[in-house]
């Protein structure tokens, strides 16, 4: 102890003075973001960006000042779903988000590329750094709720987001296939390791509702959402149907016209914040 430098990061001694280091970064000085919800998945192709879009559309329709941070740097799809093709602007290192037709603020790598199909061929550390710049360098202004579209898995970017951005909670997106439990468990365990509460489980492509008879067909297998939510103490579940009209709206850049009732349960859980409730009064 006589040679203590007070730099716990270089010390192996268990002296009882070690404190938990916070890596939380402040947003841009002109940004006031009240609540941040991360939308995650253990694998790609489960409809995570669709869930982000529906949550944001519902929030904006309720009069909340809403934003989307697209952290899926190498596979961004949010701008296309909202029909936003213009580039973000800015000066002196300050980036201005683009705005959708209904007023949702968003930033995505495709808002910085000259052509939307230009690939981003970067290593993990650079991708993670760009994601954090979307938080620290974008002038978001006043935002009631921000949804972060996370890349799939538990790698560099999800870790950086959970460590560096004050996440209020996470929504896990999955599908009915039999390997779903392993994927959900990985996501839930990572969130809890990072002290981030899991707000809900969104099961995409959960069923197909026949337009003629109205009967529900579980094309990809029996739903496991409710059982998984109970097993892992996840408070809310939303089952999103396999709906060609919903897919078509996203493909046409008109996702803001979509019916968002299918994510009502998760949205209600995400809104459990006194600040948000006060604004809705």
| Structure-token pair, residue 225 | 């959402």
Nearest Cα to 228, choosing from 260, 183, 266, 167?
A: 183
Stretch 93-119: mean pLDDT, rounded?
Answer: 91
Q: How confident is the model at residue 239 (pLDDT cuts 50, 70, 90)?
A: very high
Better-scored residue on pLDDT, 263 or 275: 263
Residue-wise pLDDT for 30-76, tens only, equals 999 999 999 999 888 899 999 999 999 999 999 999 999 999 998 89
| Structure-token pair, residue 239 | 């089952």
Q: What is the dihedral of CA 48, 50, 53, 58, to 10 degrees?
A: -110
Beta strands in 17-60 (DSSP E): 32-33, 36-41
Q: How confident is the model at residue 11 (pLDDT cuts 50, 70, 90)?
A: low
Residue-wise pLDDT for 130-170, tens only, equals 999 999 999 999 999 999 999 988 888 899 999 999 999 99
Q: Which fold has domain 25-280?
A: Rossmann fold (3.40.50)
Confidence check: pLDDT of 9 > 80: no
What pLDDT is attached to residue 6?
A: 41
Q: How confident is the model at residue 18 (pLDDT cuts 50, 70, 90)?
A: very low
Give domain limits for the chain: 25-280
Neighbours of 196 (CB within 10 A): 21
pLDDT, averaged across the chain = 87
Question: In angstroms, rounded to a whole number, what is the distance separating the alpha carbons of residues 131 and 71?
Answer: 6
Angle at 195 between CA 184 and CA 52, to 5 degrees: 55
Contact 72, 151 (CB under 8 A): yes
Place of tokens 């989307």: 68
């Amino acid at each position: 102890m006589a040679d203590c430098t007070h730099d716990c990061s270089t010390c192996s001694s268990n002296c009882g003075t070690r404190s938990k280091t916070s890596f939380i970064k402040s947003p841009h000085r002109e940004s006031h973001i009240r609540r941040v919800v991360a939308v995650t998945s253990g694998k790609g192709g489960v409809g995570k960006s669709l869930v982000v879009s529906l949550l944001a559309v519902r929030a904006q329709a309720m009069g909340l000042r809403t934003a989307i941070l697209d952290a899926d740097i190498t596979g961004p799809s949010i701008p296309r779903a909202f029909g936003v093709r213009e580039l973000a602007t800015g000066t002196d290192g300050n980036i201005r988000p683009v705005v959708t037709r209904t007023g949702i603020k968003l930033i995505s790598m495709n808002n910085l590329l000259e052509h939307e199909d230009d690939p981003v061929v970067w290593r993990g550390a650079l991708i993670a750094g760009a994601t954090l710049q979307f938080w620290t360098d974008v002038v978001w202004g006043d935002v009631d709720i921000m949804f972060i579209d996370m890349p799939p898995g538990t790698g560099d970017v999800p870790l950086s987001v959970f460590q560096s951005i004050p996440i209020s909670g996470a929504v896990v997106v999955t599908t009915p296939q039999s390997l779903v439990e392993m994927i959900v468990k990985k996501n839930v365990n990572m969130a809890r390791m990072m002290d981030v509460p899991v707000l809900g489980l969104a099961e995409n492509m959960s069923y197909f509702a026949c337009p003629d008879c109205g009967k529900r067909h579980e094309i990809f297998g029996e739903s496991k959402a409710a059982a998984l939510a109970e097993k892992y103490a996840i408070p809310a579940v939303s089952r999103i149907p396999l709906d060609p009209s919903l897919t078509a709206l996203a493909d046409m850049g008109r996702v803001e016209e979509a019916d968002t009732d299918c994510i009502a349960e998760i949205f209600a859980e995400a809104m459990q914040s006194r600040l948000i409730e006060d604004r809705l009064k």
